[in-house]
Structure 1
Amino acid sequence: MTTLLSGPTIRRDAGLYGYERALIRRGLTPIAGVDEAGRGACAGPLVAAAAVLDKPIDGLADSKLLTPKRRESCFELITRRARAWSVVVVEPGECDRLGLHRANVAALRRALARLEIVPAYVLTDGFSVDGLGTPGLAVWKGDRVSASIAAASIIAKVTRDRIMVDLHEKYPQYEFAVHKGYSTARHEQALREHGPCAEHRMTYVNVQAAMTATGGQP
Structure 2
Amino acid sequence: MTTLLSGPTIRRDAGLYGYERALARRGLAPVAGVDEAGRGACAGPLVAAAVILDRPIDGLADSKLLTPKRREACFERIHERARAVSVVIVEAAECDALGLHRANVAALRRALARLEQPPAYVLTDGFSVDGLGVPGLAVWKGDQVSASIAAASVVAKVTRDRIMERLHDGYPQYDFAVHKGYSTLRHEEALRAHGPCPEHRMTYANVRAVLTAREEESTS
> How many angstroms does 1:83 deviate by?
0.2
Q: Aligned to 2:201, what secondary structure does the other structure show?
A: coil
- The TM-score, its normalising length taken from structure 1, stands at 0.98
Distance 1:212 1:4 in 2: 48
> How many angstroms does 1:13 deviate by?
1.0
Which amino acid counterpart does residue 84 of structure 1 have in structure 2? A
Which runs of structure 1 show a deviation greater than 6 angstroms over 4 or more consecutive aligned residues? Answer: none
Q: Retained in 2: the 8 A contact 1:63–1:154?
A: yes
Query: Counterpart of 2:150?
Result: 150
**Equivalences for residues 67-216 of structure 1 within 5 A:** 67-215=67-215
Q: Residues 58-83 of structure 1: CA distance to partner in whole angstroms, max 9, x if unpaired?
A: 00000000000000000000011100
**Equivalences for residues 57-76 of structure 1 within 5 A:** 57-76=57-76
Q: Residues 28-53 of structure 1: CA distance to partner in whole angstroms, max 9, x if unpaired?
A: 10100000000000000000000000
**Equivalences for residues 36-75 of structure 1 within 5 A:** 36-75=36-75
Distance 2:208 2:191 in 1: 10
Distance 1:98 1:127 in 2: 18
Q: Aligned to 2:105, what secondary structure does the other structure show?
A: helix
> How many angstroms does 1:198 deviate by?
0.2
Distance 2:80 2:16 in 1: 20
Q: Residues 102-133 of structure 1: CA distance to partner in whole angstroms, max 9, x if unpaired?
A: 00000000000000001000000000000000
Distance 2:210 2:179 in 1: 18
> How many angstroms does 1:213 deviate by?
2.2
Q: Aligned to 1:50, what secondary structure does the other structure show?
A: strand
Distance 1:145 1:214 in 2: 45
> How many angstroms does 1:214 deviate by?
2.7
Q: Percent identity?
A: 83
Which amino acid counterpart does residue 206 of structure 1 have in structure 2? N
Q: Residues 81-104 of structure 1: CA distance to partner in whole angstroms, max 9, x if unpaired?
A: 100010000000000000000000
Which stretch shifts more, 189-198 or 206-215?
A: 206-215
Q: Aligned to 1:197, what secondary structure does the other structure show?
A: coil
- Structure 1: gaps (5+ residues): none
Distance 2:124 2:212 in 1: 38
Distance 2:177 2:198 in 1: 16
Pairwise CA RMSD of aligned residues? Answer: 0.7
- Structure 2: gaps (5+ residues): none
Q: Is 2:34 the counterpart of 1:26?
A: no
- The TM-score, its normalising length taken from structure 2, stands at 0.97
